[in-house]
Each structure stands twice: as structure tokens, then as C-alpha cells.
Amino acid sequence: MMRRILNAVAVLSVVLAISACADKKSHARAVYMLVDTSGTYTQELGRAQALTGYILGTLNPGDSFAVARVKSRSFSEKDIIAKVTFDKDPLQANAQKRAFRDKVVDFTKGVTKGSAYTDITGGIIQAAEFLNETGAGRKTILIFSDMQEELDYLTMRDFPINLKGITIVALNVTKLTTDNIDPRRYLNRMEWWEKRVRAADAEDWRRVNDLEHPERIFDARR
């Protein structure tokens, strides 16, 4: 009888441990923010820096965050400006947030010229790798860009990508001069990206241009 009780307790302990791990995973968040540093879009870096500060304020101990630049070729860890998984200790997590913010500020100050091309797809693939490695239950890629992808003739990105379980949010999608001439260019660009993202099995796709209400970035209902 005692052996049965001990066996039952052991099984229950394992189940509870597994449940705790699953629960821990499901509540963790991971955010990867891509910042376009090509052409004249570098003029928007100040807004991207401010938004980074807001996002840091929404993240909790155990969450992960990374900021990376989009340039001529963006599928590289070298393009990550800052990355962190916040410590469980709130004091340590706050110190990590300050260090993260300082890295982003230093990077923004150091950008003097935009890249010639814009490899958004490469950045998205790199972002998905980072997010999946965190094991977080909620994963988001933020793309701070005009979403005008321009590649040199050697860079290959015309192939299916996998974004299963990841929400994609395009931010501050400014309109180009050609968009002003023919608005269909802008609308077609947004439609093309939405189709590409949904074909990659992403959790969701949306666009947030009103940065006066940044709470809408993570809550589509607002």
C-alpha cells in the first residue's frame, strides 16, 4: 500500500513539474524588433529608439528582447544591436533594461548613412531563429520600416519561409514619394507582405502606423 502511495506521489510530482514548465513557457514573451537603416529611412531612427524604450517597459523578468538593423543583407547575428533575456530578479532585470537602452542609443547616434539596399526578408528569417530558440509562448517580430524591400542581384530571398506561431507587426510604414503619386503602390506593397507572411503560417499580421498609441502594437483590440 505504502509503495503505491509513493509511486502515486512520484508520478504526481513529475506531472506537476511538467505542467509548471509548460505554464512557464506559455507565459514568456519574446520580441524581436527590426529597424530599417537603409536610404532615407534613417531619419526615422529617433522614433525607433523611443519605441524601444516603450517596449522595454512592457516586458517582464523572463521575457526576451532583441533589436537588429535591416540593411543590404540582414541574415546575420552581426546585425543584432542588442539582445537579452531578462533575469528573474526584478532589480537585475531593470539593470539589463538600462544597459539595453544604452546600446540602442549608442547605435542610433552612430548611424550616419543608410545602406544601399533593404533586406527585410533576411532580417525576418534571423528574427524567427532567435524567437524560436527562446522557447517563449508568445513571439512577435516588429518591423520598423517602409516595407520597401530592395535587394542586390546576388542576394536570394525568393523562397518560402516559416513563421509558424509568430505574430508580425509592421510599424511606422511611411509612404514613399512614388506612393504619393500612385497610392496603389503602397496598398499593393502591404498586400504583398501580408500574403507572404500568412503563407509562412504566421500567427497574425497587422500594421500599426499611429505610434501615439503604442499599446496597439501588442493588443490588436485597442
For 147, counting Cβ atoms within 10 Å of its Cβ (0-12 exposed, 13-18 middle, 19+ buried), the class is buried
Per-residue tens of pLDDT for the chain, all 222 residues: 555 544 544 444 544 454 555 444 558 999 999 999 999 999 999 999 999 999 999 999 999 999 999 999 999 999 999 999 999 999 999 999 999 999 999 999 999 899 999 999 999 999 999 999 999 999 999 999 999 999 999 999 999 999 999 999 999 999 999 999 999 999 999 999 999 999 999 999 999 999 999 999 998 665
* Residue indicated by cell numbers 542576394: 155
Q: Count Cα neighbours of 220 within 13 Å in the Cβ-side half-sphere.
A: 10
Residue tagged 500599426 (cell numbers):
208
Contact between 199 and 160 (Cβ < 8 Å) = yes
Rounded to the nearest 5 degrees, what angle is found at the Cα of 189, between the Cα atoms of 66 and 45?
A: 40
As a residue count, the chain comes to: 222
Distances (CA, A) of 153 to 40, 72, 123: 21, 11, 18
Question: Which pLDDT does position 5 carry in this prediction?
Answer: 47
CA dist., res. 85 & res. 91, Å (int): 14
Q: Do the beta carbons of residue 167 and residue 203 sit within 8 Å?
A: yes
pLDDT score recorded for residue 153: 95
Alpha-carbon distance 162 to 151, whole Å? 20
Q: Which residues contact 155 (CB under 8 A, 6 or more apart)?
A: 72, 73, 117, 119, 122
Residue 221: its pLDDT value, please? 63
CA distance 101 to 97: 6
Record: fold of 29-217: Rossmann fold (3.40.50)
What pLDDT is stored for residue 11 in this prediction?
44
Do strands 166-171 and 204-208 pair parallel, antiparallel, or not at all (unpaired)? Answer: parallel
Is residue 32 within 8 A of residue 1, CB to CB? The reply is: no
Q: Which of 108, 106, 57 is nearest to 86 (CA)?
A: 57
